[in-house]
Structure 1
Amino acid sequence: GIGRATAIKFAREGASVVVNDIDKCANDVVDEIKKYGGNALSSVCDVTKRNEVRGMINSAIKEFGNIDILVNNAGITRDALIHKMKEEDWDFVINVNLKSVFYCVKEVAKYMMNNGGKIVNITSISGLTGSIGQFNYSAAKAGVIGLTKSLAKEWAKYNINVNCVAFGIVDTRLTKEKERAGTIGLPKKIREMYIESIPLKRMATTEEAANTILFLASDDASYITGTVLNVTGGLYI
């Protein structure tokens, strides 16, 4: 998905990358990076748990000496109409999509406040417009936008740029056409309807998503902070 494409893109540009996931899938990405001579470290961390996030950051510092860029890309959905939504589904989505960002920026603070850096948070068009059946997800992603803007104001004096990317519909395994017996993906008609609603008439590729994140993390974006960069193919104008 977006995380894999971003990790590979950064590594190809010469960055040493920590690839984190909730399971050992991160190992596959690290192996791919190392095959072409890139430098990467695999991490298995639940970003909703403060102690695990601290361990991940400590491992990064031990391996690479500093953290220059933080990309907060963890995301999950558990959709339901508000009157049918379970409290545990509300809590889980808020924790993964929003609280994890709080934990990660807290843990990199002491390093970036001394040396500067770039933070790119991943939000969604749902955080800008709302989305039926995504009461929890929309609230979390709107929260990421508010967090980004506040942090940009607080940390500008430390030469830390904080921005976020609001993606529309990206072509990942979650938006592929669902197989008949599958649990992941979109039904064919729903997928076609989504694509038709996009002015550019296609989903973003994960490579396009990664390019956007790389731009905000690069020196080319050195005077950009507190910004929400919309990458929606014209869906949000």
Structure 2
Amino acid sequence: MAQRIAIVTGAARGIGAGTAKRLASDGMAVGVLDLNEADGAQTVAEIEKAGGKAIAVGADVSNADQVQAAVDRVAAELGEPTVLINNAGVTRDNLLFKMSETDWDMVLNVHLRGAFLMTRATQKYMVSAKWGRIVNLSSVSAVGNRGQANYSAAKAGMQGLTKTLAIELGKFGVTANAVAPGFIVTDMTAATAARLGVSFEDFQAGAAQTIPVQRVGLPEDVANAISFFVSEAAGFVSGQILYIAGGPVS
């Protein structure tokens, strides 16, 4: 079987970096995409050190021209991408009456517009190959979370996008699924702790007490699920939302 080519957005750190490294260990060549190319260098270095193949690519996923250029570069340097992980994301948390239009637009543009543009740019390779895997990053916040009207709307939108992609692209051998993490130890959750004025260690300990499995999640926990969704074995699984939260999500 020819080597699969994957693109992971927001892959410089956190869940994206963990996923890029996992897909490389699964035998894929990986386009490590982040806002600045230099930020992806560490992820690429770790993949190459482990014997894998990857390149760092810089692009703003909310910019159509930059997205097309990034996908074209991956296709030229690694091969035609048939695996896409739409992970890039930002937060601009605030209560609704304090939330600016700029903060609303930023979050919706990076998450939803970014996933749309990346998927539109890569789907032609999947359709041509009669095989493809798309995994979108949602969140437990999709069911609603105080102070995250923008983020919750974006993550709920990712679920609707996922199900529609599954319907439209299924006949071409392309599956689309979403993972919805809960508390995962990343720079983003560390920033939330700092904003709340608590140590990250205390923040994690408090969160663990509310989780049935009594621990917080790691990027590897999410990467493990994504690895299954993009595998050959998951060809009959599409349009699904998997919560990775250590327990039920209401």
- The alpha carbon displacement at 1:111 in A equals 1.1
- The alpha carbon displacement at 1:65 in A equals 2.4
- The alpha carbon displacement at 1:175 in A equals 2.5
Verify the 8 A CA contact 1:54 1:107 in the aligned structure 2: yes
- Number of corresponding residues: 234
Structure 2 CA distance for aligned equivalents of residues 187 and 37 of structure 1: 37
Match of 2:217 in 1: 204
- CA deviations on 1:80-132 (whole Å, 9 max, x unpaired) are 000110000000000011110000011012211111200000100111x2000
- The alpha carbon displacement at 1:33 in A equals 1.1
Match of 2:181 in 1: 167
The normalised TM-score by structure 2 is 0.88
Amino acid at match of 1:5: G
More displaced stretch, 19-28 vs 170-179: 170-179
Match of 1:80 in 2: 94
Match of 1:13 in 2: 26
Q: Does 1:49 align with 2:63?
A: yes
Verify the 8 A CA contact 2:82 2:122 in the aligned structure 1: no
Structure 2 CA distance for aligned equivalents of residues 54 and 4 of structure 1: 22
Match of 1:60 in 2: 74
Structure 2 CA distance for aligned equivalents of residues 191 and 15 of structure 1: 33
* 1:83-162 equivalent positions in 2, closer than 5 A: 83-115=97-129, 116-127=131-142, 129-162=143-176
- The alpha carbon displacement at 1:25 in A equals 1.4
Amino acid at match of 1:85: M
- Structure 1, gaps ≥5 residues long: none
The change in CA–CA distance for 1:224 and 1:86 in structure 2 (over 3 A counts) is same
Q: CA RMSD in A?
A: 1.9
- Structure 2, gaps ≥5 residues long: 1-13
Structure 2 CA distance for aligned equivalents of residues 131 and 89 of structure 1: 16
- CA deviations on 1:201-232 (whole Å, 9 max, x unpaired) are 11111111111111100012110000001111
Structure 2 CA distance for aligned equivalents of residues 169 and 142 of structure 1: 17
The change in CA–CA distance for 1:50 and 1:185 in structure 2 (over 3 A counts) is farther
The change in CA–CA distance for 1:90 and 1:178 in structure 2 (over 3 A counts) is closer
- The alpha carbon displacement at 1:190 in A equals 4.3
Structure 2 CA distance for aligned equivalents of residues 64 and 175 of structure 1: 33
Structure 2 CA distance for aligned equivalents of residues 177 and 4 of structure 1: 18
For residue 18 of structure 1, give the secondary structure of its aligned residue in structure 2: strand
The change in CA–CA distance for 1:56 and 1:157 in structure 2 (over 3 A counts) is same
Verify the 8 A CA contact 2:82 2:123 in the aligned structure 1: no
- The alpha carbon displacement at 1:193 in A equals 2.9
